[in-house]
């Protein structure tokens, strides 16, 4: 059977094929552009992480320059900032395998799905807003740096998205940051230094030289954890039983600190100073620096960098809450007190300054192990990492084969620094590891994946 093709049908076919060709050409020209703002491209994992990298670098500067915050207190700045950035882009995260684990957080703004957010602008606005809130006493130059970075990034976005889209993103990012900061203000930190009288007795903590300062943040352990369930089964139990008998495990434990102090190698001294963190960027800030370097080393996406910011911060923050709860439960004596008063070495000093809170367990160990568990989950393919956090202070960089190796060294540095016993380091690592695992369990489903 023969059939005829009407001229009008032929013209329609040619016209349709032309449109298809144009669309294919347009798609081909844009498919590899990570900044492509077309409405069909709405995954934050398709964008580079340079925006959040710049904000992490500035937050490290703010931490370094800020006074009046206890070393471990910067865990809150780290964690809540990461959460603000993450929540500013979660409307664009595909799938439902992310569990919102934040303990008591309510009132987040609803994303208007008719609007197309430009995700880097969401992050920029949220981090600018929350850093202003968290660092109200920053010096004039640092406050100006927050304004300058926000403005410079906004200016760069103008070549990628229109004003209406950027305004919607900024509005949403700021609204998220406001809710996160208000939530943070209710976590209990304001009561951490309420009046406290430390117990007195054999084996109990007392103010340590040279400052003999009052106990720091005795109620930090009552802060609300950021992730619900993060502290379940994390308590390491009691420290070794106190004794002054030279044959007792306790005496031998303290003597190890003393003996090590007499034979410190150059590398052990360097390790102690590298993880001292004060002066420096603070202990939580040190891990934020590691995150920044890792994001850069792995060329992580915006989504992955921001998620890592939130979860590593939350794990470190919650591990410290659990740690301080245990510290002020047992109020264990510091090495410098025992070595001077019970062993008779009255002129002995720790290599680095002893913090003004009880000894057991090691806070740096708990913080570091908590963060490292998240790093291993999100960046487990990184097998060689060199930490340049303190290049600016002239310290030699230090290299590692895993993130947990970093945590173990951070903990061990406290023995060489003369401020912790080995069992306290081990207990802190155990507590932090369990906390990090709980954070992962409460946050990610087994099928979760992120570019």
Asked which of 32-36, 88-92, 345-349, 354-358 is least confident by mean pLDDT, the reply is: 32-36
Contact present, 416 and 311 (Cβ < 8 Å): no
Q: Degrees (nearest 5) of the Cα angle 341, 342, 346?
A: 40
Q: What is the pLDDT of residue 112?
A: 77
Residue 447 has pLDDT above 80, yes or no: no
How much of the chain, in percent, has pLDDT values that exceed 90? 85
User: Per-residue confidence at 14, pLDDT binned at 50, 70, 90?
Assistant: very low
DSSP 210-257: TTTPPPS-TTGGGSPPSBTTTTTT----PPPPP---TTSHHHHHHHHH
Q: Cα separation of 312 and 13, whole Å?
A: 56
Helix crossing, 403-416 with 422-443: angle to 10°? 150
Burial 335-355 (b: 16+ CB within 10 A, else e): bbbbbbebbeeeebebbbbbb
User: Per-residue confidence at 226, pLDDT binned at 50, 70, 90?
Assistant: very high
pLDDT tens digit sequence for 391-438: 999 999 999 999 999 999 999 999 999 999 999 999 999 999 999 999
Residue 40 has pLDDT above 60, yes or no: no
Q: What is the pLDDT of residue 6?
A: 42
Contact present, 327 and 360 (Cβ < 8 Å): yes
User: Per-residue confidence at 27, pLDDT binned at 50, 70, 90?
Assistant: very low
Q: What is the pLDDT of residue 35?
A: 30
Per DSSP, the three-state class of 103 is coil
Q: What is the pLDDT of residue 41?
A: 52
* Mean pLDDT calculated for residue range 161-172: 95
Residue 53 has pLDDT above 50, yes or no: yes
Residue 448 has pLDDT above 80, yes or no: no
**Where does residue 109 rank: exposed (0-12), middle (13-18), buried (19+ CB within 10 A)?**
middle
Q: What is the pLDDT of residue 62?
A: 98
* Mean pLDDT calculated for residue range 314-327: 98
pLDDT tens digit sequence for 263-291: 999 999 999 999 999 999 999 999 999 99
Report if pTM > 0.85.
yes
* Mean pLDDT calculated for residue range 174-187: 98
Domains assigned to the chain: 44-184 (1.20.144), 202-443 (1.10.606.20)
Q: Cα separation of 378 and 143, whole Å?
A: 32
Q: Cα separation of 388 and 375, whole Å?
A: 17
The closest of 167, 153, 176 to 86, measured between CA atoms, is 176
């Amino acid at each position: 059977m023969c059939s005829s093709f009407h001229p009008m049908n032929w013209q329609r076919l040619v016209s349709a094929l032309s449109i298809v060709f144009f669309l294919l050409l347009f798609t081909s020209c844009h498919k590899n552009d990570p900044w492509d703002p077309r409405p069909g491209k709405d995954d934050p994992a398709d964008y580079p992480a340079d925006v959040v990298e710049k904000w992490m670098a500035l937050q490290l500067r703010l931490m370094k320059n800020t006074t009046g915050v206890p070393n471990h207190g910067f865990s809150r700045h780290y964690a809540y900032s990461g959460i603000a950035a993450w929540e500013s882009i979660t409307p664009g995260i595909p799938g439902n395998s992310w569990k919102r684990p934040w303990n008591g957080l309510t009132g987040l703004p609803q994303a208007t799905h008719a609007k197309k957010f430009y995700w880097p602008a969401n992050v920029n606005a949220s981090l600018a807003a929350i850093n202003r809130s968290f660092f109200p006493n920053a010096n004039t130059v640092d406050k100006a740096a927050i304004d300058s970075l926000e403005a410079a990034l906004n200016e760069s976005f103008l070549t990628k998205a229109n004003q209406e889209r950027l305004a919607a993103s900024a509005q949403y990012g700021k609204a998220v940051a406001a809710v996160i900061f208000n939530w943070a203000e209710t976590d209990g930190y304001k009561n951490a230094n309420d009046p406290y009288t430390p117990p007195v007795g054999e084996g109990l903590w007392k103010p340590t030289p040279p400052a003999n300062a009052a106990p720091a943040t005795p109620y930090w352990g009552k802060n609300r954890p950021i992730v619900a369930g993060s502290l379940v089964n994390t308590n390491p139990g009691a420290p070794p039983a106190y004794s002054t008998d030279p044959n007792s495990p306790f005496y031998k434990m303290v003597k190890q600190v003393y003996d090590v102090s007499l034979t410190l190698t150059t590398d052990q001294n360097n390790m102690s100073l590298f993880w001292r963190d004060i002066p420096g960027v603070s202990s939580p800030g040190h891990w934020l620096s590691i995150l920044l370097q890792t994001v850069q080393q792995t060329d992580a996406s915006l989504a992955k960098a921001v998620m890592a910011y939130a979860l590593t911060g939350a794990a470190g923050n919650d591990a410290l809450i659990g740690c301080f709860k245990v510290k002020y439960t047992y109020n264990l004596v510091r090495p410098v007190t025992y070595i001077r008063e019970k062993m008779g070495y009255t002129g002995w000093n720790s290599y680095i300054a002893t913090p003004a809170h009880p000894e057991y367990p090691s806070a740096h160990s708990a913080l570091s192990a908590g963060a490292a568990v998240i790093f291993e989950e999100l960046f487990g393919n990184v097998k060689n990492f060199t930490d340049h956090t303190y290049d600016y202070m002239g310290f030699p960089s230090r290299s590692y084969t895993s993130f947990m190796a970093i945590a173990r060294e951070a903990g061990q540095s406290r023995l060489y620094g003369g401020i912790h016993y080995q069992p306290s380091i081990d207990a802190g690592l155990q507590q932090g590891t369990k906390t990090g695992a709980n954070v992962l369990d409460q946050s990610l489903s087994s099928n979760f994946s992120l570019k």
